[in-house]
Chain A
Amino acid sequence: MDPARTPLGQMLLEEITPVVMVLSTPSVEETCLKNGFSFLQMLTPFCSFNNIDVPVRTASDQPYRIHKFKLRLFYGSNVRKPDLKVAEEQLMQVITESGEKVFSELCSDAPKINQEHASSEDRNTPSWFQFFNKELVRMASFSDHEAFDHPVACLLAVSSKDEHPVSRFIDLFNTNKLPSLLKDGAMDPKILKHYLLVHDNQDGSTDRASKILTEMRNTFGASDCVLLSINSSPDAPIKHQDNPWASQICDASPDQDLGCFLNIDDINEIKDLMQDLSSKHIIPNMEQKIRVLNQQVSATRKGFKNQIKNLWWRKGKEDGVDSLNGPMYNFNSIESQIRVLGDYAFMLRDYELALSNYRLISTDYKIDKAWKRYAGVQEMMGLTYFMLDQSRKEAEYCMENAFNTYLKLGFVGQQNATRCGLWWIEMLKARDLFKEAATVYFRICGEDILHSAVMLEQASYCYLLSKPSMSRKYGFHLVLSGEQYKKCDQIKHAIRTYRSALSVFRGTTWSYINDHVHFHIGQWYASLGMYDVAVKHMTEILACSHQSKTTQELFLGDFLQVVEKTGHTFEVTKLQLPVINISSLKVIFEDHRTFGSPSAVNTKEGLWHSLEEDMIPSFTAAKTNWLELQSKLISKKNTQSNVCVAGEAVKVNIEFINPLQITIPVSGVTLVCKYSTSTDELTSNANELSVKTDNEVDHFRDTSSHNSSFLVSEVDFSLGGGETTMVQLSVTPKEVGTLEILGVRWKLSGAIVGFHNFELSHPKKNIVKGRRKAKQSPNEKFKFMVIKSIPKIQGTIQSLPGKAYAGDLRQLMLELRNPSEFPVKNLKMKISHPRFLIVGNQENVKLEFPGCLTKKSDSVQSGAHANPNMMSETVFSFPADTSVQGETPLSWPLWFRAAVPGDISLYMSIYYEIEDISSVIRYRTLRLHYNVQVLPSLDVSFQISPSRLRIQDFLVRLDIVNKTSSESFQVYQLSSIGHHWEISLLQPPEAIFPSQTLMAGQAISCFFTLKNSRRLSTLEHNISTLPLGSDVLLVPQCSEDLVYNTNNVPLVNFHYFERLQQKVLHEDLGDLNTVDLVLISRPLNSSISPGLSDPPHVMSHHTCHLSTASTGPISWLVDGPQTLHHDFSASFCEINLKMHLYNSSDATAFVRIDTTDFDGSGGHMNSVNAIQSATPDNQAGWHDVTPVTEIKVTPNALEAQPGKVVLLESVSPYIWSGSSSTNIHLEPMSSAEIPLQICVFSPGTYDLSNYVLSWKLPSQVLGDSDETKQHSGKCQGYKYYLTVLQST
């Protein structure tokens, strides 16, 4: 790449060019001012020559040609170091202006990073950057340590109007007025002078002018004097098509035509003048000088001899002045001359020559410690290398060296360092070393904040341009730059840089940085009074949960302050505070399903569905002829949207989360809804949707104002740090139409209103009730068809305890209300757990509890008869004449019994139909849900064993354990259910319960005898009759009246469900051999803990399906003497025994009794000890307390008798003398008697259990049979002891 074509090359060709000092008289200026510019400005456009062809011959003999050339014109007064302060101010103004300009152009949104990248080529160099850089470079001009700013020529201009023009010329170049450079001797004052006589054609003819010109030519020499006539255009001003001055003088007012009095001839004249000046005077003059200087330099410095001499001489000067600038060099010192030579050569583009001279002088300056000059030369060397396009490394090294040296000089070198740095950067940029350029920019940043801001910004663009682009550094440097801009009050620039930086950080998770950037942009916008934009940025940082508490407070505080300043309540669509947990969103509405409590709402739809199955008519079935039209309408509408009823609230549960550590007040939380009257709206809404998104906020605002057709609830709350609150919002439509819930709006800290649209952000919703219509579009889920008001029954169960002890029985009241004026009909009810809750009768309402349970009151006896039907029917229908309307509620009794311990959820559903058939919804259900915690109270267990004294008698052992921790109970009554059982106490109640109470944790056992009172004759009709129980009071001194009637409502109903329940649990052995026992207990009032609000009165414990038939369907009893005397000396003893058999099954049984004689392990026992030792082995059984004999009960006769005592004697002590095997067919429910006989040969005690009883039932009818049911069995005989004594 041609270095001259690079920006740096262009810049050098423009900036490092010969300077022409212009000296003019006031009248010349005056003449020019007529055209609106100064003399210098008039000439400037014609100072650059793009199309010349001048041969140049410098030190070498080979001439070359220059095609482009430029002169820089300066007034003599300006040929000096620029005033820093003025320059700074000018720069500042430049920046401020550009800031305003760019800021106003700034589009509303910061461009995305990739766009940024695409447009970065242009953005990289905004015009004002270049301008700024140029100004910075100029600030370092006219330094005495470099020669290219030294004027090479002087243009003296005198007007023809002036008096004594010739003397004026001499006056102009008076040394007193000359710039310091020339005066101080830093440069040669003998420079080329060019004398220009300016004639204003408007002042008259050129006669006088030509006269003066002649005079001048005589005085100053012919070639150096020129006449310039301007303003030739007569009074009429001329408009120039492309005004050459327009780009020069920008501060001219646009209405003034620059150069209006200059006609084409004038312009051409000026052009010729300048071209002449450059090509005929300046360039040859410079050539001349180069040659002269070169010769001098060669004479003094070139060659070995001179070098030695120079070195020697330098050494001698070592102890000389060591000032910061090094020694002063006069223009005629050899060092200055070399420098001038180099610069001249550079300007004439003889870079080789320039370089050799720079090199030469560089070492000298270094040795002289003339650091500034050294740096200057190094700088030029770098540039020369660059222009030569060789040795890039060298060039960069030189630039760096120069830069560092300038920096070392401190303040003096600051401007130069900046200039050098900028050139260096351009050099790097020209070689695509943007990253390095950026670091140089970074190094240029001096103490001046504004400069560093601009430099940092430029550095950031360099990072972006570097390959690969380093966007993060770009962002970082923009932030740094913005910070600096802010420091020097260039807020607009600061905002601009930060906004650009935002494009880097947006979308990343570097939240600290993001917050910082947004916060400051917000702050700065606020300081500019642009609160709206400020708020927009501030809202971004509100949910800064990662920040410290103080920062959060600061952010929120500032934010609220800004919002306050806006003067109106600000409304934003995506306010991040508080955070809305959209997944928690739940919409609760009641169509034909209504709910008694929130907990009922949360219950799964499926559960209700299964509960209501029997009650609700299916849709298809409901399509009767006269309703057909109606149902069509329903189905069509139902598929489109949800249905809600006017006057009934639609509720939305939503969670608000405060991510901050500080408390935030939230007020006015409401739903935003849209209401439309016509149902046609439904279809047109789809088209409307796209429009809606555009002016969403307006829409939100609108709907909040007109809410005549619906009512929305408003909630205020305060969220503490990190808190989460579930809020229930409701909207109540008042008119028929369509209601759509759009979102939620709230007010934060009373200042800013936030919206959250339900739809747009989260299309997937968790709608509890919408399952049935899961396929509808998400939009529809928030759309409701409002139908006209229909009755809604409200219901509660009065006084349902939250906690109860197991067995607790109480009467409850269901209260139903219908606040509307419309009647309902066909009420039905279903309860999920009939074991816990059953429906009572209307008559029960007036009954006193618990008195109604006793036998004294016989009024309810009749109710019991209807029970079996009612119990099988799970749906309870209220009587047809039941009406629920108006103020008076319908009360209906319910019976509650805490059946088993645990947490029980009771569900009830009440169905009713609306009499107004024109309504869309024809029936509704009221769903009630209650939770009851049932605590364990008494643990009741029974053990039944057959009595050995009487057949069909049983011994019942009752074990009661009080499982409560503090309660005491009175065990009141034990009843057996069933017609054929009679129960009676073995002991008087006083003996069992001396204190009449069962304390907490106490366990007690008591015994009863149970008698099967069923007779064979009553078999048939007994089954169909109602069960009649027998009751045993366990409390002494109690009248019969107070016995609880277990055959009465509700005990019998509960018993029915208990039976059902326990049937499942038990393996039912035989229908007829089971007994159900009900234990009724009462808590002692004194001991009731205060924890239960409503103490229980009666508690019942039901134990069902207790099997009496432990040995199968056949029970038997061996009957005979227990002690007898016999004289064994006479003969052996023959004893007759009887065996009673009873078949308790309902089929004819085949029974066989096999008696076996002793087989070596038989049971003759001589000692009583043996008997006693045998008994503990059989601990599982129950022992009759008959004092004389021990009756052995084998609990599990199917197995071989365990624990049999091994007897010592092998000889059989007795033998069965009757038939060894007896077969008998035993009719159902009948008994039989079999004679048995044994022979005993010696006195002693004999165990007569040596027989086996086998029984067999005919196999059951197919299908009816239970696989596990016992069809046959074998029972070992039970121990029967017979003592035979020797009679005396």
Chain B
Amino acid sequence: MIVCVAVVGHQNNPLYIQSFTEADDALKLHHIVHCSLDVVDERVNNPKKSGPMLNETFLGLLYPIENYKVYGYLTNTKVKFILVTTDLDVKDADVRNFFRRFHSAYVDAVSNPFHVPGKKITSRTFAERVSTIVKSFGFSSAA
């Protein structure tokens, strides 16, 4: 199950962060997402690790923490997508697929002329779309 998704701007400022748990663990998830940025930075600044896939946006598993696994995705505009999940056996393909859909949702959201770049994404449509994607993530991995 996905517990949290986040969009982080190129200055590492949170643009959108949404948790999908009932528990009041927003702070914890904020911390996890925030920490994962360190790993993203590390991945980005260590080109030898990214190796052949120079233009790869998917960063893969960033790090496991407690019961969570954190996945990252980096767009060309240095906007980061973070996914925190509790699933222990996640297929990379699923995560890639998720990020691809998430990315397109994000692109649509920021293409809105009323969206101020660098400001938080407040679009309700975006939120709905993301939650749909998140829900379908569980199904597709089960199937």
Binding site for B on A (CB under 8 A): 463, 468, 470-473, 475-476, 479, 508-510, 512-513, 516
Contact = CB atoms under 8 A, between A and B. Distances in A.
B31 A479 contact: yes
B87 to A, nearest CB: 22
Given A468-B41, A512-B26, A513-B27, A476 B14 contact: no
11 contacts: A468-B45, A470-B39, A470-B42, A471-B38, A472-B37, A472-B38, A473-B38, A509-B13, A510-B13, A510-B14, A512-B26
A512 B41 contact: no
Nearest to B37: A472
A507 to B, nearest CB: 10
Contacts of B34: 472, 475-476, 510, 513
A479 B28 CA distance: 11
Contact residues on B (Cβ < 8 Å of other chain), bracket = 10 to 19
Q: Which 6 A-B pairs have the closest CB atoms?
A: A470-B38, A509-B13, A472-B38, A512-B30, A476-B35, A473-B38
Interface string B8-23: 0000111000000000
A351 to B, nearest CB: 34
A513 B12 contact: no
Contacts of A513: 27, 30-31, 34
Most buried by A among B30, B31, B39, B42: B31
A1134 B12 CA distance: 109
A512 B26 CA distance: 8
A810 B26 CA distance: 68
Interface in B18-59: 26-27, 30-31, 34-35, 37-39, 41-42, 45
Contacts of A476: 31, 34-35
A473 B35 CA distance: 5
Most buried by B among A472, A473, A476, A513: A472
A516 B28 CA distance: 11
B13 A468 contact: no
Nearest to B24: A548
A516 B35 contact: no
Nearest to A504: B34
Contacts of B42: 468, 470
Contact of B13 (A472, A479, A508): A508
Contacts of A475: 34
A119 B12 CA distance: 25
B61 to A, nearest CB: 15
B9 to A, nearest CB: 9
Contacts of B45: 468
A516 B38 contact: no
Given A468-B41, A468-B45, A472-B34, A516 B13 contact: no
B14 A509 contact: yes
Contacts of A470: 38-39, 41-42
Contact of A510 (B30, B38, B39, B41): B30
A473 B31 CA distance: 9
A528 B13 CA distance: 34
A548 to B, nearest CB: 9
B97 to A, nearest CB: 28
| Majority-rule SS of A interface residues | helix
A659 B30 CA distance: 22
A502 to B, nearest CB: 14
Contacts of B37: 472
Contacts of A510: 13-14, 30, 34
Nearest to A471: B38
A509 B37 CA distance: 14
Given A463-B38, A473-B35, A516-B27, 11 more contacts: A468-B42, A468-B45, A470-B38, A472-B35, A475-B34, A476-B31, A476-B34, A479-B31, A508-B13, A509-B14, A513-B27
B122 to A, nearest CB: 11
A516 B39 CA distance: 23
A6 B52 CA distance: 38
Contacts of B13: 508-510
A175 B27 CA distance: 61
A475 B36 CA distance: 12
A473 B32 CA distance: 9
Contacts of B39: 470
A195 to B, nearest CB: 59
Contacts of A472: 34-35, 37-38
A1250 B28 CA distance: 102
A472 B36 CA distance: 8
A475 B12 CA distance: 15
Contacts of A516: 27
Contact of A512 (B12, B27, B35, B38): B27
Nearest to A439: B63
Nearest to B30: A512
Nearest to B39: A470
Most buried by A among B27, B38, B45: B38
B74 to A, nearest CB: 16
Contacts of A468: 41-42, 45
A224 to B, nearest CB: 60
Nearest to A546: B120
Contacts of A509: 13-14
Contacts of B41: 468, 470
A509 B8 CA distance: 10
Contacts of A479: 31
Contacts of A508: 12-13
A512 B13 CA distance: 12
A511 to B, nearest CB: 8
A516 B34 CA distance: 14
A468 B38 CA distance: 9
B54 to A, nearest CB: 20
A463 B35 CA distance: 11
A3 B134 CA distance: 52
A503 to B, nearest CB: 14
A508 B9 CA distance: 12
A252 to B, nearest CB: 46
Nearest to B26: A512
A498 to B, nearest CB: 13
A510 B9 CA distance: 12
A471 B12 CA distance: 12
A472 B14 CA distance: 14
Nearest to A547: B26
A546 to B, nearest CB: 9
A512 B31 CA distance: 9
Contacts of B38: 463, 470-473
B44 to A, nearest CB: 10
Nearest to A479: B31
A1215 to B, nearest CB: 79
A735 B76 CA distance: 65
A512 B34 CA distance: 11
A71 B10 CA distance: 58
Contacts of A463: 38
A460 to B, nearest CB: 11
Nearest to A463: B38
A472 B30 CA distance: 11
B112 to A, nearest CB: 20
B130 to A, nearest CB: 18
Nearest to B36: A472
A647 B39 CA distance: 66
B86 to A, nearest CB: 19
Interface string B82-108: 000000000000000000000000000
Contacts of A512: 26-27, 30
A513 B13 CA distance: 12
A470 B27 CA distance: 19
A933 B14 CA distance: 51
Contacts of A471: 38
A513 B34 CA distance: 9
A764 to B, nearest CB: 21
A852 to B, nearest CB: 60
Nearest to B118: A509
